[in-house]
Structure 1
Amino acid sequence: MIVISKPQSLTSLLMGRMGNALLWLFASMHLAALAVLLATLLSLTDANAATQETACPGKNLLVDMQQSDKAGYDAIVEEAAKVPNGQGTFWKIEKDGVEPSWLLGTMHLSDPRVLEMPQGAPEAFAKATTVIVESDEITDEKQAAAALLAKPELMMFLDGTSMTDMLSKEDAATLERGLKERGIPLAAVAKMKPWILSSFVALPACEYARKASGASFLDMKLAKDAVAQGKKLVGLETLLEQITALSELPMSFHVQSLVEMLRLGARMDDMMTTMIDLYQDGQVGMIMPMMKHLDASENSDEGYAAFEQRVIDDRNHVMAKGATPHLEKGNVFMAVGALHLPGEVGVIELLRKSGFTLTAVNEW
C-alpha cells in the first residue's frame, strides 16, 4: 500500500512507479477484445465482491501537477501541443461527390462519463447507413469470447508454468489478495498468461463491477444499435487480432506491468480519472505525453516504442485501409479508440493521405 505523507504530492509518489502499468491501463481502455474477454471471464467467476462497488474514486493527476510540478505540467502541455490532431474526439470526413461521414474516438469503458456522445454525434449516427467499429464481433460477446478462448496458447501457459512462478512471494501474495477482492481464487486462474490476469486488475473496482453486471461500452452499444436499426455494420479487425498484437509484446513487459499494477493498487483510480478527464475535454493528444512523463522507469522509452508500434501504429494502418472503401461511398459513422486518432500516423492523418478532408466538429 502506498501511503501519502503531507510533504509529498500524489503525483510525485506515482512518478517512477507506474511504468508499463500505464500502458496496460491504456490497453484496457482501448482494446475491445479485453473488454469482451473480461466480461465473459467475469461471468464464469464469483464476482459478487466486485459488484458491491459502485463509486468511482480517483483524482486528476494533472490538477495536482499544476500545483506540485508546474514545470512538469508545462512540459506535458508543450509536448501535447505538437501532436497533430490532438484536440477533439469527433471529426467530419468529407470528399467531393459523396455525403459526409463521421469519426468518433471512444474509450472501451462502461463509465457513464464516456458513454455520452459529443454534440452532433447522435444525429450523425442516426443518419448513417454504414457503421464502422474496430470489430463487429462485439455484438455477440459470448461468441466473440469463444473465438478468443479457442486459441488457448494466447490465454494460458500450456507447459505447466504458473503465473506465480514468475513472481516473488510478496507479489504473488499481492496478486492473490487482489483477485480475492474481485471474487476470483488464484488457483482458478494461475495458469493464465499475465496479459489476461492484468485485465482483472487493470481497471478500478467501479468499472470492474459494471462489467461484472453486464454493462456495455459505447462501441458495443453502437454496434448493436446499428444491427437493430438495419444499418450495415463493418468490423476493421478481429478480436483475436487485437489479443495477438498484445501477446506479441515481450513477456517481461507483461509481467512487469502486472507487478506494477498490483503495487499501485487503488492509485490506478487516479490514472483512470485523469485519462477520462482528458478524453472529456477533447485533449486526447495529451494522454500519451502525460503517461510518458509519469513513467520514470529505466526502460520506459523502449517499452513505449514497442507498445505504440504494435498496439497503436500498426493497427492505425489496418483501420484506415479497411475504412477507406466504405468512406468512399459516404454517409458512414466510424467509431474507434480515441488514441488511434491523433499523431503523424494516426487514423486522421492516414485518411487525409487517402484524399479525405477531416475537420474537428467541436472547437477546443
Structure 2
Amino acid sequence: MITIEDFKPSETYLFLESSYKRDLLEVAIAKAGSQRKLGTILKLDKGCAYQTKISTWLRQNNLRLDLIHALHKYLRKKLIVEKIKGLKSETTGGLITNIKFPVRLSPELANILAKLYCDGSVTKRNKYTTIYYNTCPQLISEYKEKIGHCFGNLKFSESKGHVYAVRVPNIIGKVLYKKFRLGMNRIPSQIMLADKEIKAAYLRAVFDDEGNVNKIHGQIRLKMKFKTFLQDVKQLLEEFSIETSPLGKDFSGAGHLAWYFVISGQYNLRKFYKRIGISHPDKKKKLRKRLRSYKQNTYGYKARFVILDILRKGGSKSVEDLANIAGRDRRTIQHHLNNLIESKLVKFTKVKTKYSFKNCWASVK
C-alpha cells in the first residue's frame, strides 16, 4: 500500500483543494498573529520576505509537502488525503491528478511492478527515470491502462519505433523503487505474501515480457540474468501446482551469464494457461495451438506427482482407477507408484475382492 508518507516531503508538491489550502493558511496566520510570525514559526529561510512568501502561497496552486506537514502539525490537524487533487516532483515530471490515496496493492499494481523490473527501467543512478519498453503495442497499451488505474491522470512521454517506449513521471518510479525494493533482483516481499490473484497478475506480466513459447513443442522457457529472481518465480509457480525444470545456465544475446527453466507437458501447460494466463498475443497464440494439438494427457517431467495429487484429493484408489483418471495404462501407473513408494509418499493395503485381493493405494499424510 502506497500512502502520501511514502513520498519525500522536500521533493513533492501537492495540489490541494483551493478552499482547503486557503483555510489552512489563513487559520495558521491568524493563530500566529501575522504572516511574519508564521514564517518564523515555520522556520523559513532567514532573510526571506515572509509576507511576500506566504502571500505567494495563498495565490499559487501547490504547496510543498514538508510545508503542508508543518502547517498541519502547527494547527494540530491531520491531512485529509481526499483534499489532494494532484502531485508532482520538485524538478522533473508532469502533474499527476485524480490520484486516490492509499494506492493499494492490486493485480494492476502487481502488473506494473513486474513490467518495470523486466522490460522496464527504474534506476537510482539515473534519478529514477521510469521507462517501459516493448515491441508489442498491446502490452504498451496494457501498461498505460494499469498506470492510469493505480495513479490517476498523468501525461505519458512516448516514442515509437521498432521498440515502443513509455515514460511516466519520475516521482512514480522513485516511490515504487523504494517501496518495493526493485533494485534487489527479487520478487517484492509484498507480492510473495499477497493473495493468488495478485501473484498471478505479477507472474503473467513476467512471462509476457521475458517468457518464450516454443512454436514446435510448446515449452515455456523463462531466461533472465538473476538467479535469485528466477528462484522466486519458481516458488510462486509451485503455489499454483505448476512444476518447472531445475534451473540451468545459459548466455544472453549480449554474452552475459543467464539462468533459465522450462515448463513442459500438457498437465503443467494447461495449469499455467488457466491459472496464470498470458496476454502477449503471439505467445498466447502459440500456447493455445500447442494445447489444442494434444490428443491425450501428457504430464512432462515429474508425472508421478500427478498420481500423488489424485490420491491426495480423491482418497485411496486402485491401479485401475488411477489409470482411468490419468489416461494411462496400468503398467505406467504401477511404475510411478513404485517410485512414489520408494520415496515414502504413498502406501498400499490389500483389499479382498469377490475372487482375489487387489492393492488399494493412498498418499502418506
> TM-score category by the smaller chain?
under 0.3
- CA radius of gyration, larger in: 2
Higher helix fraction (1 or 2): 1
Higher strand fraction (1 or 2): 2
The TM-score with structure 2 as length reference comes to 0.21
- Structure with the bigger RCO (C-alpha within 8 Å, sep 6+) is 1
The TM-score with structure 1 as length reference comes to 0.21
